[in-house]
Structure 1
């Protein structure tokens, strides 16, 4: 399949620079986002030349908005690395970057969900998680996700800190929680959840060792819970 020749939307990119200046903040160190037109053109020329050498069209170096909807905005920025070299870098900004992930336990067993994830096109074993909606607290979201995804009511909750997802690409982050619940109900089919599993902490570790559990949030939450002596 030939690569796309569609250019990024530079007009919309300039609008976002004005509308969302917080997305384009440069600190004193690190990778700098270039916002002057001349600098952007120079970065595009540099990357276009490199891309041509590997068979990619000039559009693959174009700076701008790659995609935008109510959930995510995908951008390609012109950047300057700390050594002074120019480049471009893609990033995905979530409209709402905050979420929660819950390591829930009932009767000494960890609650896992078997859920179909569209991006990877396969079933995954994960822990319940969800986005924090506007006006909702983290704790409210934990209660909501547990009720919706596994049908459990929480009797005890412990905040275990925060973790981020793919920091090389996107802005997603979740607060990790441990929760004791009174039981589980039926899986939330409308969210692609096909099964609820209950496993002991030892079984969880064995499944992780066999790579049956790959969900980074589940692994991070289990590690945090183990550090705190919760599982």
Structure 2
């Protein structure tokens, strides 16, 4: 186990707080550990949204990687994870889902990020219209589970939340093998 000896906040803005903590390792040797807390420690959300056997992907420009990326709708929590998931789906797909079920949690990079992201499966009886937030979402597509899996296998879908949600959905029988 690693013990925090002194918490040292070195940077903060409205999205992240960066710590460079003084720590003691299991053998009692001393060192430093970098830790990034996103969104004031509130959990994130990522949603595998489905309609008639197809799953939503949104095209978003990811500034850190300087690239366009297809992935599932996602965002930071604003209240409960369930409430946040509904808000993000309205923003990114244009409508609240008919059903919304928790399907797991992930820690995106537990060696550096102090974050937890709640995964959900959302279902739509009617195909949603256009995204409410066109600044964030450039396009929406609906793919079958087989097309999503093929995109992951081909290296075309690199979004980790999409991959984790697919695995959680597969493990829970939401999608077939």
Same fold (TM over 0.5): yes
Is the aligned partner of 1:90 residue 2:34?
A: yes
- Deviation of 1:179 after TM superposition, in Å, equals 0.9
Q: What is the number of residues matched between the two proteins? A: 172
User: Could you tell me which residue of structure 1 aligns to residue 156 of structure 2?
Assistant: 212
Query: Which protein has the larger Cα radius of gyration, Structure 1 or Structure 2?
Result: 1
User: Could you tell me which residue of structure 1 aligns to residue 97 of structure 2?
Assistant: 154
Q: Contact 2:43 / 2:76 at 8 angstroms: preserved in 1?
A: yes
- Listed one character per residue, the Cα deviations across residues 173-224 of structure 1 (whole Å, up to 9, x for unaligned) are 1111101112132243222x21111110000000000111111111111111
Q: Which runs of 5+ in 2 are unaligned?
A: none
Is the aligned partner of 1:168 residue 2:111?
A: yes
**Higher percent of residues as strand:** 2
Runs ≥4 residues deviating over 3 A: none
Tell me the TM-score normalised to structure 1 length. Answer: 0.70
User: Could you tell me which residue of structure 1 aligns to residue 2 of structure 2?
Assistant: 31
Q: Contact 2:41 / 2:114 at 8 angstroms: preserved in 1?
A: no
Tell me the TM-score normalised to structure 2 length. Answer: 0.89
Give me the whole-angstrom Cα distance separating, in 1, the residues matched to 2:8 and 2:99.
Answer: 46
Over aligned residue pairs, what C-alpha RMSD do you find?
1.6
Q: Residue 208 and residue 77 in structure 1: after superposition, are their counterparts in 2 closer, same or farther (change >3 A)?
A: same
Question: Which of the numbers 46, 67, 79 marks the counterpart of 1:101?
Answer: 46
**Higher percent of residues as helix:** 1
Give me the whole-angstrom Cα distance separating, in 1, the residues matched to 2:145 and 2:95.
Answer: 19
Q: Secondary structure at the match of 1:190?
A: coil
- Deviation of 1:87 after TM superposition, in Å, equals 1.6
Kindly indicate whether structure 1 or structure 2 has the higher relative contact order, using CA contacts under 8 Å at least 6 residues apart.
Answer: 2
- Deviation of 1:140 after TM superposition, in Å, equals 2.0
Q: Secondary structure at the match of 2:138?
A: strand
